[in-house]
Amino acid sequence: MSISTWGWLVLAFPLAGSLLIALLYRVLSAKAAGWIGTLAIALAFACSVGALLGLLDRPADQREIASTLYDYAGAAGIPFDLGILVDPLSVFMALVVTGVSALIHLYSVAYMGSDRGYRRFFSFLNFFVFSMLLLVLAGNYVLLIVGWAFVGFASYALISFWYRRRTATDAGMKAFVINVIGDIGLVFAAILLIKELGVTDYGAVFELAPEAFTANEWTVVAICLLLIVGAIAKSAQAPLHTWLADAMEGPTPVSALIHAATMVTAGVYLIARSYPLFDLAPTAADVAAFIGLFTLLMAATIALVVTDLKRIIAFSTMSQIGYMIVGVSIGAYSAGLFHLMTHAFFKALLFMAAGSIIAAMAAIQDIDRMRGFRRAMPFTCGALIVGALALAGFPGTSGFFSKDEILAFAATRGGMYWIFAVGGYIGAILTAFYSFRIVFRVVYGEPCEEAKELEGGHLAHAEPVNPATGEVEDTDVGFPGPDHHIAEREWPMKVAMAVLAFGALFGGLIQIPGVTHVLESFLEPVFEASPIAATVHVSTTDAYIGMAVGGLCSLLGIGAAFYLYMVAPGSTLRLRDRFRRLHDFLFNRWYFDELLNALAYRPVIACGRFASGTFERVVVDGIVRGAGDGVGGLGTVVRTAQSGFVRFYALLVVAGLAGLGLYFLLAAS
């Protein structure tokens, strides 16, 4: 089978799955829908592997296959076609996406078991995977935007999955609005590209760009900045990051898939794919890198104090994506993408474990209430520990290799880029701290009520409430189902978590500096035109020094957490009281929500109020009613001629006759 066929099949299976589940809604049983969805993604993964094998068969310089289904060039007036590009980068992304998605689908089969909206969930989830694959496989910017928009919709649909929950629908809208801002940036970038170069196809753009633009010319910088707007909105980087924390209102598998492993990495993919443009606009690349650095540090500090388990992991995602953005912006393309892959593994694993724990806690998400699950849920706690180790970059885990590769590159590039290395290592310490904050809280210590219940073999139950506001709900459609599923009792959840744990632990082995460089050599043909990749080579010694520093940072962080939580419990409370202002600043997420509120939301609402209250009422209504009143007034004037008296009408007739006669007399004389 040709590679392009594999490529199209990768797209076709999830779409077919989504449509099938949606159309056969009434006929399918819930479980059948779940397995169909999972099967569709598994088949897509198989086709991605097929595409990979096909690519590997070819020599390294011939691994770019574009395939077009339909060319819209004449019809729509914009130069684009329905075409995909199968090259190492897109196949890599497709593998990551389909692989992790398949496991998450498997997890959801059990986790979402008693939810009344089960089939809708899987239809949307399949649709999401289709959109994400469309995004990564697209061969031109316009189709990328189509996939981008679809992904935004899927995210909205899944965040608001429990649609009767007010907080969930608000979060969905927030996510969608902020994503649309990113979409606007992307669309403008595409418009500029069409205006300047006349093409949107990747191959054509990257060929024409170096000739059309000189370095740092304002057009190409503008294009790249607009692409960055799109990237930071989708990947939840500052300042367009506020939606990600609220997006945790969605079910845990959604958080795992969309808001950890795949959708939020779309921005990283975009920057990596557009690297020729960013090479021409170093200013923009630097802007992106600094945004990544800022977000990295900001999110890490917030994750230190937030108490909702899923939100800690969400801010952790934000922080790690900051690393990836830094990576692809400073030229460490394969390193950034390697971190994307490992992050997908361990973050999805962390979310899955969190889902299991929250289920055990009867839907309570506050980690201050969680304690000592190590005897009640050994498997889940093991998975949690593995994920936390990978996240913290513990030596030997996948996160260790990927994170340190980026930072070593930054150090090697030298000059200004040292700041990224330094910032990255500080971030690593914070990351290690908060990951083990979770572990020491949840796994160790005196078991809490729910844990004791579970040790006794009974899963805790509670009145269904909204975890954020505490208002009482029911378990009908639109709200979470009545049952909670933990990994120890459901084999799909166990299998999925086990595979991811394996990947999180051993995934780093494909890129041990100086020993293996599977990913780097696979992606090399894509990035070979980059001048940075040509000039900056991280020597093995530097890499190992970097890894040593990184390992040290992670151990520091773990040690600090160990001390504060295990050795001297209660010291965190004392720290909080001493640094009350700082704590509140961090707890309120650096007041970014309030800032965006004041900067964007309030002025828009004020404009809206002005428009509807004053402008609409006075100007528009005035014109409309004024026109009506004017005509009515004219009518009232004319109405006096309609007195109803027949003699008056006769008078008018005779007067008209006299007038006519007068006219003819005058005309004749």
Could you list the residues that contact another protein (CB under 8 A)?
A: 639, 642-651, 654-655, 657-658, 661-662, 664-665, 668-669
Three-state DSSP class for residue 84: strand
Q: What are phi and psi of 139, to 5 degrees?
A: -100, 0
Q: How far is the CB of 641 from another protein (least distance, A)?
A: 8
| Residue with smaller CB distance to another protein, 416 or 660 | 660
Q: How far is the CB of 638 from another protein (least distance, A)?
A: 9
| Residue with smaller CB distance to another protein, 25 or 649 | 649
Contact 168, 250 (CB under 8 A): yes
| Residue with smaller CB distance to another protein, 25 or 663 | 663
Angle at 633 between CA 631 and CA 639, to 5 degrees: 100
| Residue with smaller CB distance to another protein, 535 or 636 | 636
Q: How far is the CB of 628 from another protein (least distance, A)?
A: 18
- Residues 96, 92: Cα–Cα separation, whole Å: 6
Question: Which alpha helices (DSSP H) does 24-164 contain, by range?
Answer: 30-57, 73-76, 88-111, 118-137, 141-159
| Residue with smaller CB distance to another protein, 535 or 669 | 669
- Residues 150, 455: Cα–Cα separation, whole Å: 44
| Residue with smaller CB distance to another protein, 70 or 645 | 645
Write the secondary structure of 341-400 as one string of H (helix), E (strand) and C (coil): HHHHHHHHHHHHHHHHHHHHCCCCCEHHHCCCCCCCCHHHHHHHHHHHHHHHCCCCCHHH
Contact 481, 112 (CB under 8 A): yes
**Counting runs of H as helices and runs of E as strands, what totals does the chain give?**
30, 2
Tokens of 224: 């790249």
Q: How far is the CB of 651 from another protein (least distance, A)?
A: 5
- Residues 664, 388: Cα–Cα separation, whole Å: 105
* 601-602-607-610 Cα dihedral, nearest 10 degrees: 140
Residues in Cβ contact with 297 at an 8 Å cutoff, skipping those fewer than 6 apart: 319, 322, 423, 426, 427, 430
Q: How far is the CB of 624 from another protein (least distance, A)?
A: 25
Q: How far is the CB of 652 from another protein (least distance, A)?
A: 10
| Residue with smaller CB distance to another protein, 563 or 664 | 664
| Residue with smaller CB distance to another protein, 569 or 656 | 656
Other Cβ atoms less than 10 A from the Cβ of 111: the count is 26
| Residue with smaller CB distance to another protein, 506 or 664 | 664
Q: How far is the CB of 604 from another protein (least distance, A)?
A: 50
Q: How far is the CB of 636 from another protein (least distance, A)?
A: 10
Bridge partner residues of 84 (DSSP): 67, 138
| Residue with smaller CB distance to another protein, 567 or 665 | 665
Residues in Cβ contact with 202 at an 8 Å cutoff, skipping those fewer than 6 apart: 85, 139, 140, 141, 273
- Residues 159, 169: Cα–Cα separation, whole Å: 7
- Residues 269, 119: Cα–Cα separation, whole Å: 30
| Residue with smaller CB distance to another protein, 469 or 642 | 642
| Tokens 């031109």 found at | 140
| Residue with smaller CB distance to another protein, 515 or 646 | 646
| Residue with smaller CB distance to another protein, 75 or 666 | 666
Other Cβ atoms less than 10 A from the Cβ of 412: the count is 17
Q: How far is the CB of 645 from another protein (least distance, A)?
A: 5
| Residue with smaller CB distance to another protein, 198 or 659 | 659
The Cβ-side half-sphere exposure at 163, using a 13 Å CA radius, reads 9
DSSP string, 225-251: HHHHHHHHHHTT-TTTTHHHHHGGGS-
Tokens of 617: 């009422």
- Residues 329, 228: Cα–Cα separation, whole Å: 10
- Residues 397, 506: Cα–Cα separation, whole Å: 6
Q: By C-alpha distance, which of 324, 268, 334 is closest to 521?
A: 334
| Residue with smaller CB distance to another protein, 605 or 657 | 657
Q: How far is the CB of 649 from another protein (least distance, A)?
A: 8
Residues in Cβ contact with 377 at an 8 Å cutoff, skipping those fewer than 6 apart: 356, 357, 360, 451, 454, 486, 487, 488
Residues in Cβ contact with 42 at an 8 Å cutoff, skipping those fewer than 6 apart: 102, 105
Q: How far is the CB of 627 from another protein (least distance, A)?
A: 21
- Let me know how long the chain is: 669
409, containing H or E segment: helix 398-413
